[in-house]
Chains A and B, each alone.
Chain A
Amino acid sequence: MIKKIFIPLLISLFFPVIAYCAEYIDFTLTTYDNSNYDITYYRKYKEIAKQYYKGNKLVKMTGGLPDGKLKLLNFNNLPVAIVNIKNNKFEGQCIFLQRKYSVRFNPPYEKVKSMYKAGILNGPTEIFNINGDIAFKLNYKDGALDGESFFFDYAANEKKVVLFKNGKKVSEHVSKIK
C-alpha cells in the first residue's frame, strides 16, 4: 500500500526536476561536411542555437549554414566570433576572439582578424595582443604567406618586416615604429 502511494508521489515530485534539467542538456551541432570549422554546443553559442533550434527542437541542417554574416555569442552574450559565410565557407573578413578572465571588469582579449576567399586565407591576417594593439600582420595568398609580414614590438618600439614568397622566407629587416 505504501509503495502504491508514495512511489508514484515521489516520481511526480521529480517531474519538475527532470523538466528543469532537460533545459540544460547540451546539444551538439557538428553536421558540417566541410572542414573549415566545426561548431558545437547549443548552450555556448546562442546565435547558432537561435537559428537552428525552434521550440527546443533541432532542425536538421541539410544545406549547411546560410550565406551572410554570422555572429557567435558565448554564455555572457559576448561575441566570440564574427564570420562571413558563403557557400558554407568563410568569405571576406572573419574575426575570432579569445576572451579572457573577468570579462566584465577588464575586457582584455586577443583577436585574430583574417581575410578569406572561398574558405582559404587570402589577404591580410592581423593578430591583436591583449592590449588591443596589432602584434602581427601576416599577408596570405591562397593559404600561404606571401608578401610582407610584420611583427610589432611595442616595448622596443621596433617593427620586424619579413618578406615571404609562396610560404618561404625571402628576407627580413627591423625598423623603428614611426
Chain B
Amino acid sequence: MKFKKINLKSLFIKLSIFIVSLLLLFTLLELSLRLLGKKWQQGRPDYMSEETIAKHDKIVACFGDSYTVGGLGTKDLSYPGILNKMTASDNTAVLNLGICESNSSQVLEAIENYTAANNPEAIVLLVGAANKYNFYGMKKINFYQKLRIYKMYQIMKLSVENRFLKKQIVKSFSETPNTGYYLSNDIEKIFSDAMQIDKTHGTLHMANYYISRKNDRLPMQSSFVSAGNKKVKAMIEDLSEQEKKKILVDIVHIYAFIGDKAKAEQYYRLAKKYNPEQAKEMFVFYCLDNADMNEKEKLKAFNDFIAENPYEGYCNIINYYLNKTVFIKDKAEKERRLKLAKNYLDKIIRLEPENRRTYEIMLSFYRENGEFEKAQELYETKFLEEGITTRFKNFYYRMAYYLIYYGKFGEAVEYFLKAFEQNPRLDLHCYYYFSKAFDLQNKYDAKYVLNKFEEISKKYPDLQNNTSFNTCKESFKNRERFEEDILEWLQADIEKIIDICRKKDIKLIIQNYPFPYHAVNNLLRQTAEKNNIIFIDNYSVFEKIAEEDGYDKYFLDFDHCTPEGHRIIADNVYAALAENKVIRK
C-alpha cells in the first residue's frame, strides 16, 4: 500500500494563510462595526458636534443604557433629546451619551473617560437594568469582551434564544402523541384478549394502539403506518353495524388528534353513515380543527348546525376561526380570521349575551387577538368568581405561553406565578418555560419568585414531594444568590461614579427606571439616599399615570418608553435640574 507523503511545509503555509485570513476577516468586521456605530451615533437627531457643544455655557451629560438612547424606535425622541430642547433658553447642552445594553461598569468607564477630558455641570444617570445579563466588568474584564464582534455575538445569541423559545412554544401546542405501549410486546395480546371480553371497546383500544404508533418515530414508522391502518380497517370491517356505530366516531377522534387529517376525514364520512347525529356533533367539536378539509366544506357542516341551532352553530364557527390564530404567521390571514370571528361573536352576543358559553368564546377571542388585559379581566370576573370550568382551568398557563410567544417575558412570569398559585402540580415543562421566561425578563427578581413559591408551599403542604416544583424552587435559590452578587456589583459601581462626581464637583442625578425593575429601582434609591444624591423617582410617577391612562401610552415594547414616556422623564429631570440650580427656568 502506498501513502502519499505529506508535505509539512505546504501544510504549514496553508494553515498560516488560513489563520491570517481568519484574523483579517475578524479585524475587518470589528472595524466595520465600529465605523457603523460611529456613523449611526452621528446620524442621530440629538447628536451634537464638538463645535455645537462649545457654543453652550453648560453641559448636562446623560449616561445610561437603551432607556437613555431612546429605546426601540424612538431614538429621535429620547429624554435627553427632549431635555436639550427644554434647556435651550438657558444655553445648556444636554448630551445623550447612552449606549444600548450598557451595564454599570461600562457606564462607569464612559464617565471616567468623559470627565477626564470634559467638565460637565451635571451628570444624569439611569443604569442597572442591563447588569442582569451583561456581565462585562462584573469580574476581570477580558480583552475579547471589549470587541464589537463579541457584542454582536451576544445580541445574536440572545435573539436565537428568543426565537428558539418561541418555536418551542408553538411546538408545544401541536404536540404529537407518544406511546410507551410498544415497550411491551404483550400489549397486542392484552388488547386482543380485551376484544374477547368486549369486542367494541377492545377493538377501540387496539385501533388506538395501531394508529398512535405511527407517530412514535420508530425506524419502521412508514411501514407500520400502512400496516397499522390496514389492521384498523380490517378490524372495523369485521364489526357489526351496531358496534360500528359505537366506535367509528372515536376512531375519527384518534386520527384527528394525532393529526392524520386525511384519515380523520375518511373515517368521518364512514361514521356519518352509521351514526349521523353523533358524528356531526363530534365532527364539529373535535375533528374540525384538525381535519384537512377546505373552508367551504367546513362552513357547510356548520351551516347544517346553524339551521338547527343558530347559537351553537355560530359558536362552532368562531371556535374554528379562532383555533390557534395567535400562531398564524400570515398577517392578512390572521386578520381575516379574527375579523370573521368578531362578526360571529357579535351575533352570539346579540343572541345570548348572558350565556356562559358566550363568555368562554369572548375569552378565547380576546386571548387569540392578543388583548390579554381584557381576557384576564373577563376570566377573573366571570370565571374565577363563579368557579373554574375544566375548559379554562389552565387559562393562566396558556396566557403565559402566548405572552412568551409575543416576547412579553415579564408578563409571562406574572401569569405563570398565578397559574402555580392555582395549581402547582405540573410537569417539568411548565417550570422549564417559566424559568426561561424569567431569565429573559427584568421585571421580577428571584427573591420575589421565591416569596411566591413559599406562599404556594404553605398553601399546598403536600408539594414537598413534588420534584418539578422543588427543582424549580431550588434553581431560584441559586438565582437569588446570583442576583445578590449582581446588586452588590451595581452598588459598588454607582458609588465609584458618586466618588468621581464629588471629586470633580459635578452634580450627579440618579434616576430609577419607569418600568418595575423592582430590585434595581430599590437599589438605586437606597444608594442615592445613603450618599445624599439627588434622586428622581420615575417609577412612582409612571406607576400612577400608567394606571390612569393605560400602559400603552407610556411604554412602547415590553419595557422601553414611548415618546410620551420620554417626555415625562425629561420633565422630571428638568424639574430636578431647576430645583438644584443647574439650570434656570
Contact = CB atoms under 8 A, between A and B. Distances in A.
Nearest to B431: A77
Contact of B18 (A5, A90, A102, A169): A5
Interface string A158-170: 0010100000010
Interface residues of A, number: 54
A171 to B, nearest CB: 12
B184 A105 contact: no
Contacts of B194: 127, 135-136, 138, 151
A110 B208 contact: yes
A62 B467 CA distance: 33
Contacts of B177: 98-101
B212 interface: yes
Contacts, number: 143
B183 A80 contact: yes
A78 B178 CA distance: 10
Interface string B172-206: 11011111110111110111011011100110010
A164 to B, nearest CB: 8
Interface of B: 14, 17-18, 21-22, 25, 172-173, 175-181, 183-187, 189-191, 193-194, 196-198, 201-202, 205, 208-209, 212, 217-219, 257-258, 394, 397-398, 427-430
Given A9-B21, A96-B183, A127-B194, A40 B218 contact: yes
Contact of A80 (B180, B217, B398): B180
A96 B217 CA distance: 17
A5 B180 contact: no
Given A75-B178, A80-B179, A125 B190 contact: yes
A24 to B, nearest CB: 13
Nearest to B186: A121
B185 A104 contact: no
Nearest to B180: A80
25 contacts: A4-B17, A4-B18, A9-B21, A37-B185, A44-B217, A74-B178, A76-B427, A76-B428, A77-B428, A79-B180, A80-B178, A80-B183, A81-B183, A81-B184, A94-B184, A96-B180, A99-B180, A100-B177, A100-B212, A104-B394, A127-B190, A136-B201, A145-B196, A149-B193, A169-B196
Nearest to A126: B190
A29 to B, nearest CB: 12
A153 B198 contact: yes
A97 B177 CA distance: 11
B202 A96 contact: no
Contact of B197 (A101, A105, A162): A162
Contacts of B208: 98, 110
Contacts of B179: 80, 96-99
A28 B217 CA distance: 12
Given A44-B178, A104-B397, A83 B198 contact: no
A39 interface: yes
Contacts of B217: 41, 44
Nearest to A7: B18
A51 interface: no
Given A81-B184, A103-B175, A151-B197, 14 more contacts: A9-B18, A37-B183, A74-B178, A80-B180, A96-B180, A99-B180, A101-B176, A101-B177, A101-B257, A104-B397, A104-B427, A112-B187, A121-B189, A127-B190
Residue from B21, B172, B178, B208 with most neighbouring chain A CB atoms (10 Å): B178
A48 to B, nearest CB: 10
A150 B193 CA distance: 11
A77 to B, nearest CB: 5
Interface string A1-30: 000111011001000000000000000100
A36 B185 CA distance: 6
A149 B198 CA distance: 11
B180 A105 contact: no
Interface centre among A78, A79, A105, by most B CB within 10 Å?
A105
A114 interface: yes
Q: Give the one of B193, B205, B209 with max A CB within 10 A.
A: B193
Contacts of B202: 136, 151
A49 interface: no
Interface centre among B178, B189, B197 (most CB of A within 10 A): B197
A41 B217 CA distance: 9
A78 B468 CA distance: 11
B400 to A, nearest CB: 11
Contacts of B175: 76, 101-104
